[in-house]
Structure 1
Amino acid sequence: MTKSIVWHHSTITKADRQRLNQHKSCVLWFTGLSGSGKSTLANEIDRRLYHLGIRSYILDGDNVRHGLSKDLGFGKKDRIENIRRIGEVAKLFVDSGQIVSTAFISPFRKDRDQIRKLFPAGEFIEIYVNCPLNICEKRDPKGLYHKARRGEIREFTGIDSPYEIPANPELMIETNKYSINKAAEMVIDYLRKKEFIQ
């Protein structure tokens, strides 16, 4: 960053926006294997927050790849940059007073830890969407595991590229054991317990 670039502080602060919204803001960072249920769970939570009058938004991996990160591939370097961009965008959403959900594999622990550092303590909520690889492969909603097994996709997480399990996530949800309704309740209950929402 050059010395000529200076952060411009807004007259209206994050705290002001939170008071207007009547709820706190944070990022729900859903991480897990492809097919584990990250996007499904994020969408169900977003639906529930909407009906509770909570201002929220979802940053989904595939959707972001259509615009913000359409210039990136899927090698390790590009994945790291993709996650960095998402973290910065999520930070802006949190600053705007919203609860933002991010549904990304985000396979590397170091990258997730770097994103956590962008936020004040408590505002980054890492949710490990835990599902065994064999079940994710059976689900395979986009046919990606099939392509990876045939060698059509290289460096695919869980097949020929590692997924690093979160060391201390705020929540761990086993989507092979819980229904989508129960899983969503667990997240909403956490938000209530931590007083992000009433």
Structure 2
Amino acid sequence: MKATNITWHEGKVTKEDRRNLNNHQSFVLWFTGLSGAGKSTLSVAVEQELYKRGIRTYRLDGDNIRHGLNKNLGFSPEDRKENIRRIGEVSKLMVEAGVVTLSAFISPYREDRNMVRELVEDNEFIEIYVKCGLDVCEQRDPKGLYKKARAGEIKGFTGIDAPYEAPENPDIIVETDQQSLEECVENVLLYLEEKQLIPVHTKS
């Protein structure tokens, strides 16, 4: 059942008003990559640094969201698509609220990531490819999911028996099997500074 008889109600406080109040831009940092690539770890570290700089943030994490908003969804292609659609809409609301949103999701399909990009305005969606070889992700296996997938206990696991479509033109690439966490964080922050999305930080 789709909602009917609904009308959009405009407010008096705009996105720009909220940005001016916060004293910074708002946008989505979208971390995509294989399970175990380091998306959550990187998003946590980037958020910490942004917070230290006085930037208002909120982090949306794949597993965390499935504890609440998306707990009724599984991992079929259809449910994965709906998972990302909902997160895209939440991310858009966060941007409207003037907040920098860090969304860490495998989001294996390009079409779904592009759908989220199209929800917001130009320069409000920054796609970060958290690149890491499958062999390294399997070695890390922080949740034991690869082991279960290889044993046939989990079906449709990304990278094993379900595809991962790597970004073709990501805004940022970090290679967590080649770079330290600190280097990856610095790459993200430098990009944001160069694009004038956050103020340039002067180290004391």
Distance in structure 1 (CA, Å) of the matches to 2:11 and 2:184: 37
Q: Does 1:72 align with 2:73?
A: yes
Q: Which residue of 2 aligns with 1:38?
A: 39
Q: Name the counterpart of 1:195.
A: 196
State the Cα deviation string for residues 10-45 of structure 1 (Å, max 9, x = none). Answer: 211110010111100000000000000000000000
TM-fit CA distance, 1:3: 5.3
Structure 1-normalised TM-score?
A: 0.98
Q: Which residue of 2 aligns with 1:21?
A: 22
SS at match of 1:34: coil
Counterparts of 2:151 and 2:97, CA distance in 1: 44
Task: Describe the SS at the equivalent of 2:122.
Answer: coil
Deviations 1:107-143 (A, max 9, x none): 0001101111001011000000000000000000000
Structure 1 unpaired stretches of 5+: none
Q: Report the Cα offset of residue 191 of structure 1.
A: 1.0
Distance 1:54 1:17 in 2: 13
Q: What is the aligned partner in structure 2 of residue 185 from structure 1? A: 186
After TM superposition, the score normalised by the length of structure 2 is 0.95
Amino acid at match of 1:40: T
TM-superposition CA deviations, 1:157-191 (whole Å, max 9, x none) = 00000000111110111111111111001111111
Q: Which runs of 5+ in 2 are unaligned?
A: 200-204
Q: How does 1:92-111 map to 2 (within 5 A)?
A: 92-111=93-112
Equivalent in the alignment of 1:81: 82
Per the alignment, residue 130 of structure 2 pairs with 129
Q: Aligned-pair RMSD on alpha carbons?
A: 0.9
C-alpha separation between the residues in 2 aligned to 1:9 and 1:106? Answer: 31
For residue 202 of structure 2, what is the aligned residue in structure 1?
A: none
1:161 match? 162
Note if 1:149 corresponds to 2:150: yes
Match for 2:196: what amino acid? Answer: E
> Which structure 1 residue ranges, 4+ long, deviate > 3 Å from structure 2?
none
Structure 2 Cα separation of the partners of residues 185 and 18 of structure 1: 24
